[in-house]
Structure 1
Amino acid sequence: LNDIASIKETFEKQEIIYKTDAKVSINLTPKKKRIGDTITIVDEIKAAAAEYKKTLPDAVSIDYINDMAFYVKRRLNVLVSNGVMGMALLLGTLLLFLNVRIALVTAIGIPFAFLSALLFMSFFGVSINMITMFGLILVLGMIVDDAIVVSENVYRYMEEGMSPREAAVKGAQEVAAPVTTTILTTAAAFLPLMFISGIMGKFLRVFPLSVIACLAASLFEALIILPSHLAEWVRPLKSGVGTKKTSAGEEKKRGLLMRIISWPIWFLKVLGHYFFSHDRKGGEAGWFRRLLNSYKKLLRYSLNRRYKMLGGAVAVLVLAGIFAVKFLPFKMFPSMVEIFYIRAEAVEGSSLDETNRVITEIEKSVVALPEDELLNVTTTVGYLGDIGGGPFDKYGTKYAQCIVYLTPESSRPRSAAEIIEGLRKEVAAKNIKNVATLEFETVRDGPPVGKPVSIEVRGPEFETLSVIASEIKKFMNGIDGIEDIKDDYELDKEEIQINIDKKESSRMGLTVRDVAMTIRYAYAGGVATTIRKGDEDVNVVVRLPEKDRRNFETLKELTIPNDTGRLIKLGKVASFQKYQGIGRLSHKDGERTINITANLNEKKEIKLTALAAGNQILEKFKDISVKYPGYRLVVGGEFEDTQESLNSMFQAFGAAFLLIYIILATQFRSFIQPVIIMVSVPFGMVGVIMGLYVHGEPMGIIAMFGMIGLTGVVVNDSLILVDFINKMRNKGMDTYQAIRQAGATRLRPILLTSITTIIALVPLIYGIGGEEPFLVPAAIAMAYGLLAATFLTLVIVPCVYLITEDIRVKLGIKPDGIDIKA
């Protein structure tokens, strides 16, 4: 063979280069099965890797990139610590309003509800993950609401002199119906979320499951278990007319453990009572009496000016809506970026080594980032694609990318947007040669969505599509906040098209397959045989020398054996034409399509959102079908996902409101009173809007989840208030006095249910137990919305109730849902 060929021993042609932290590496990417536990699998992999490391030279290291167990543990720790702190604050709030033992017994329902929910989730195959844990934290302050209503009612009867057993029975029976209705309405608020369509629905479907499971368990505990605990473990109050003393036998029944737990808390209660009360002999704290007296005055003032109060509330709601439209942007998910891509394309025809040189210059700027900002960077030359791969991955010697893994956002001095901006400027200053395109793309939490800006230009001819695409890209370049604009109409290498003369080739005894196979073997090479070398088979590859493969004339002179063994020159049976190659042709729904994509600058001073950018482009080119008949624009990507998600969420809101209305109408036997109860829900949006704006958070899908939770709590507060107004009227009290009496009587439980829910969310909002920015918007929406809605429940709902009574009297309509006793 030496006489007719040059022979050399080498490795297979390298098609992809892998690097980690600027060093050549071999990357292994394990994929977890659906039933696998992330933390356990990662721990086992690390243990196996540690054993294998002992067999390697010191110069070889093993690193763990994009360790999902780290993120899972971090989120679990944050959520658990926030949950524990929220529960502690919640217990403290209960102690401030209620008797020590009643507060403790009420709080026992929280772990019971959580454990019951976990058993329910396990039975239905729902895992503990970020979404289910988020549901448990969000519902933390809500699951104690029904227990608070029962306990407060029992406590009220004990203050009037009843024994714990009598108070427990009467107090629980009196509120059983409204408490059951409150849980049903709250569950109804979350239930439609299970039926949201698309990728969003699959991602968030487990959220309402965890919430509803907790609510169901809390209802059982509040109506069945809690009254028995109150009857057995709570001492009669020492103050109040007709209070009975506890016998020695009853004291012994309560158990030593309960007394030990109660003593330190009782001391703190007495200490707080000393500072907050003028009357230190027991009963209601002085601070609460003062608050109650102030509320009575406010309620009387509001009822006397009910039309002005309602008008003022409506005006505030309208102004808040206008403010939100102008100053509150919409983003599907919060911008918490800890991973981003740097995607590069070298000029056409670049070799793998040349592309490696290009990306190495960019890589140097990345590895130079401070240790408190950069965890790792992985580099791939010869490939472009997402983590885990995808259908639109690209392979070729001109492609390269870096995946940059940043430290947690809470511990970073700069945001991801600032880091990317700095790298852009630094790389641009290097003026690296042979770079065709360079793009920075962030990876966000949440379900996978399209590009922030994605425009599809559809029509019959690619030439016209390219002209329209150029106009759109030019316009997009003028929009502040849009960057990395490109389209997928890619020109590829120059191609040589070989046209076979079928008649001549047939006469010469050649087939198209003979020609194709010969060309392939000559240029790409073919395996002639294999040689055994140790325990490995080595391929023997035969092909033309490189200098001949690069010479166009060689192609014409290439000889092909025919069916008789005679060698025929390719130039005798074929003609050759050079064409500009097309890298990719896209079709969508049977139409030729050019996709234009772009990213948004994440800097906070630029408030552009995907929704706003898409609307600007559609408005500018709304007449494109007139200018270019047969051609049209379709906005996709995050804009399309946002529109679909918003439509699904609004449908879920509509279904939730309908379900709540049906439940309330059934409970109150009225068509009007459910509207009165639900009137405070839209007013709660004032608090949502201001809370998100003050904290610099956009409106989004996660914030909407908080709004749904807000709906449940607000409806519950209004329901309890209206139910007591009806009961007062049933006893023969006139409407005005019934409203005042019910407001005074239900002030404490309404404040407690609202404050406990808000307090439970405070650690999550302010990161007291660790930050989790992805979940913060929901907590803000629920807490601030409830803050505003509580005031409106206590003031505006009574005004609306009295206004509807005014209208009823003027129209001569009989009150529904009320059986007034003579």
Structure 2
Amino acid sequence: MLDDQTGSTRQAIGVMQTNALIGLAMVLVITWLFLGGRMAMLTCIGIPFILSGTFWFIQNLGFTLNNNVLLGIVISLGMLVDDAVVVIESMYYRIVRGMDALNAALSSLREVFWPVTTAVLTTMASFLPLMLMPGIVGKFMLVVPVVVVTALAISLIEAYWMLPAHVIAANIKFTSGSKTQKLRIAFTSKLQHLYSKSLLKMLRHPYLAVILIIILVSGVGYAFQAKWVKINFFAMDSFPIFYVTVEMSPDASMKETLEVTTQVEQRILTHIKTGEMRNLASYAGQAFTETEILFGEHWGQVVVSLNPDRSQRRRAEVRFEDMPEREYDKRLNDLRREIQNKAEQELPIEVDNPLILEITTANAFPTAMLVLNGTGEDESLRRQAYLIKKDLEQIKGVHGVDTIGLHKPQLQIELLLESLQNYGLNPTQVADSVRVLFNDLAAGSLDIGKQQWLLRLVGTERDAEKLGQFIVLTPSLQLDQLANVQRSWEKPETLVKFKQKPGVIFSVTKKTSANTITLVERINQFITQRNSLLQKNGLQLDLLDDQTGSTRQAIGVMQT
């Protein structure tokens, strides 16, 4: 497989899980410190309930688990237990003073219901306008406010219903006066006394308070500037896959362009360390840029997919991550210059002034990219490529499969001018007769029940020999008497090389509702099964890249 998106997705999920666990642990510790172990546990169990309800709701809306959903979860994570903490603290205040759990819950809800609800609604209101953004950006960002608003709404249900019900069912009391509870009361009393004294000092000396705030803010800014604190909201890999685009002179043939691109590929390999690259492929006839797809025999491109395991790319990160913009541009220009010089020195003489146009990065890639290559004959490669494309389209969750480097079959009719002259015909007459065979023709109507159906006939003949027996103009004149009819292949629009062998690239896109990770797992199973059949033909099907790593990292960030 040439490329797929499960690597980034898996990494984002991992990051979200890590962030969620750390947040859960911190809530547990803080609430235990001030409210006790049972109160802390009842508060914390609300987090998985809220997340489960949110995921269930957005799934029913038709959204899948992607980076935008995870972004909304990360944004809302810090606010999910705010209302629950206010409610349970009010209940704790009353229970400590001797009130039973039921009356404490009712009294607390009457006291804090409107303030907490208003606070949550104002937060929702700040995200709701994002749902009204027009155009592609609006569709892209729609899921973020949906996730945030949904999570906050479910957090209110948990705070007003589940949390009080759990406290009442647990029948929590603090009348026994345990040693831990006495220490907790003493600690909180001392903390309140210290806070009161500090607040009075600040009010009596406002200038001192302002100076202290400025020092704190400056210290935080310096910590970020000195990179003592790393900003890593979503730990995405900024360079998971990149392209080297080659532009030849406009009159260059596709074969020459592919030869140039292959030389560039060899030079790129000298910059890749062991374990850093997952796969690499080169092709000619088209090129992907950040804004468009370029077509033409003079365009070539090398696509390099890096290892989805970031630990295997630590050296690459030292080169490109955390690098000043000027230094990054300098490194990129050096790479362009080196490839340019290498191309000019080692390419054939007939190749005129090769130009390395650009090196770009890309994250918006199809769900999966596969490459078929090997030592098999061209006919075997094409035949297997068509079968693979057809079978990939049947995999559950696949929306479509595009190919690069796959030549389409055709029936070629080469008219014999001497025969045409002998029969007194011209090429247009023969062409019109053949066109009738393949165009759809009206064939009357058919009555079925109370409905009348119009019939049209469409020719689908693929056998060259049978097509040669087609009667042209007169009952005794066959097409093969006027032309040579044979099966052939269209002139290739794109040539692909993978591991220095001819190949075909398959670009797989998923349905909107399909789960990316599950789909790529199905594709990997398909690759394993198909390779057992391809080996006898000298062919191999590979995965070029895996882009779901960033998504898994995003999920890990959210969990942390």
Q: In 2, distance between residues paired with 1:105 and 1:134?
A: 26
Question: 5 Å matches for 1:371-450?
Answer: 371-386=274-289, 392-408=292-308, 410-411=310-311, 412-415=313-316, 418=319, 421=332, 423-424=335-336, 426-432=338-344, 434-444=353-363
Q: In 1, distance between residues paired with 2:188 and 2:210?
A: 27
Q: In 2, distance between residues paired with 1:436 and 1:540?
A: 34
Question: For residues 377 and 414 of structure 1, do their structure 2 counterparts lie closer, same or farther at Cα, with a shift above 3 Å needed?
Answer: same
After superposition, what is the alpha-carbon deviation per residue over 1:136-155, rounded to whole angstroms, capped at 9, x for unaligned?
23322311111111111111
Aligned to 1:221: 158
Amino acid at match of 1:98: L
After superposition, what is the alpha-carbon deviation per residue over 1:699-744, rounded to whole angstroms, capped at 9, x for unaligned?
xxxxxxxxxxxxxxxxxxxxxxxxxxxxxxxxxxxxxxxxxxxxxx
Question: 5 Å matches for 1:739-754?
Answer: none
After superposition, what is the alpha-carbon deviation per residue over 1:5-61, rounded to whole angstroms, capped at 9, x for unaligned?
xxxxxxxxxxxxxxxxxxxxxxxxxxxxxxxxxxxxxxxxxxxxxxxxxxxxxxxxx
The percent of aligned pairs where both chains have the same amino acid is 30
Amino acid at match of 1:404: V
Which stretches in structure 2 are left out of the alignment for 5+ residues? 321-330, 348-352, 367-427, 432-461, 469-484, 490-548
Q: In 2, distance between residues paired with 1:398 and 1:361?
A: 15
Question: Could you tell me whether the CA contact under 8 Å between 2:247 and 2:300 is conserved in 1?
Answer: yes
Deviation at 1:280, TM superposition (A): 4.6
Question: Could you tell me whether the CA contact under 8 Å between 2:10 and 2:550 is conserved in 1?
Answer: no
Deviation at 1:109, TM superposition (A): 1.8
Q: In 2, distance between residues paired with 1:203 and 1:289?
A: 50
Deviation at 1:126, TM superposition (A): 2.4
Question: For residues 229 and 91 of structure 1, do their structure 2 counterparts lie closer, same or farther at Cα, with a shift above 3 Å needed?
Answer: same
Question: For residues 192 and 66 of structure 1, do their structure 2 counterparts lie closer, same or farther at Cα, with a shift above 3 Å needed?
Answer: same
Deviation at 1:128, TM superposition (A): 2.1
Question: Could you tell me whether the CA contact under 8 Å between 1:102 and 1:234 is conserved in 2?
Answer: no
Q: In 2, distance between residues paired with 1:446 and 1:394?
A: 16
Question: For residues 228 and 539 of structure 1, do their structure 2 counterparts lie closer, same or farther at Cα, with a shift above 3 Å needed?
Answer: closer
| TM-score for the superposition, normalised by structure 1 | 0.39
Amino acid at match of 2:486: V
After superposition, what is the alpha-carbon deviation per residue over 1:448-499, rounded to whole angstroms, capped at 9, x for unaligned?
xxxxxxxxxxxxxxxxxxxxxxxxxxxxxxxxxxxxxxxxxxxxxxxxxxxx
Q: In 1, distance between residues paired with 2:184 and 2:223?
A: 42
After superposition, what is the alpha-carbon deviation per residue over 1:502-554, rounded to whole angstroms, capped at 9, x for unaligned?
xxxxxxxxxxxx9xx9xxxxxxxxxxxx983699962599xxxxxxxxxxxxx
1:187 has 2:124 as partner: yes
Deviation at 1:363, TM superposition (A): 0.6
Question: 5 Å matches for 1:340-355?
Answer: 340-355=242-257
Deviation at 1:307, TM superposition (A): 6.2
Aligned to 1:339: 241
Q: Tell me, what secondary structure is at the counterpart of 2:14?
A: helix
Q: Tell me, what secondary structure is at the counterpart of 2:45?
A: helix
Which stretches in structure 1 are left out of the alignment for 5+ residues? 1-63, 241-269, 271-278, 448-513, 518-529, 542-769, 784-822
Q: In 1, distance between residues paired with 2:556 and 2:48?
A: 25
Question: Could you tell me whether the CA contact under 8 Å between 2:13 and 2:552 is conserved in 1?
Answer: no
Amino acid at match of 2:315: R
Question: For residues 414 and 535 of structure 1, do their structure 2 counterparts lie closer, same or farther at Cα, with a shift above 3 Å needed?
Answer: farther
Deviation at 1:74, TM superposition (A): 3.3
Q: In 2, distance between residues paired with 1:776 and 1:116?
A: 17
Question: Could you tell me whether the CA contact under 8 Å between 1:336 and 1:445 is conserved in 2?
Answer: no
Number of aligned pairs? 368
Deviation at 1:221, TM superposition (A): 1.7
Deviation at 1:213, TM superposition (A): 0.6
Question: Could you tell me whether the CA contact under 8 Å between 1:345 and 1:437 is conserved in 2?
Answer: yes
Aligned to 2:42: 105
Question: 5 Å matches for 1:48-447?
Answer: 64-238=1-175, 280=180, 282=182, 284=184, 286-306=186-206, 309=209, 313=213, 336-368=238-270, 369-386=272-289, 392-408=292-308, 410-411=310-311, 412-415=313-316, 418=319, 421=332, 423-424=335-336, 426-432=338-344, 434-444=353-363
Q: Which has the higher contact order (CA 8 A, sep 6+)?
A: 2
Amino acid at match of 1:395: F
Deviation at 1:779, TM superposition (A): 7.7
Question: 5 Å matches for 1:628-639?
Answer: none
Deviation at 1:159, TM superposition (A): 1.9
Amino acid at match of 2:146: L
Deviation at 1:373, TM superposition (A): 1.0
| TM-score for the superposition, normalised by structure 2 | 0.56
Q: In 2, distance between residues paired with 1:355 and 1:161?
A: 85
Question: Could you tell me whether the CA contact under 8 Å between 1:335 and 1:444 is conserved in 2?
Answer: no
Decide which structure has greater strand share.
Answer: 2
Q: In 1, distance between residues paired with 2:63 and 2:193?
A: 49
Question: For residues 104 and 396 of structure 1, do their structure 2 counterparts lie closer, same or farther at Cα, with a shift above 3 Å needed?
Answer: same
1:538 has 2:438 as partner: no
Question: For residues 74 and 314 of structure 1, do their structure 2 counterparts lie closer, same or farther at Cα, with a shift above 3 Å needed?
Answer: closer
Question: Could you tell me whether the CA contact under 8 Å between 1:410 and 1:771 is conserved in 2?
Answer: no
Amino acid at match of 1:438: L
Aligned to 1:258: none
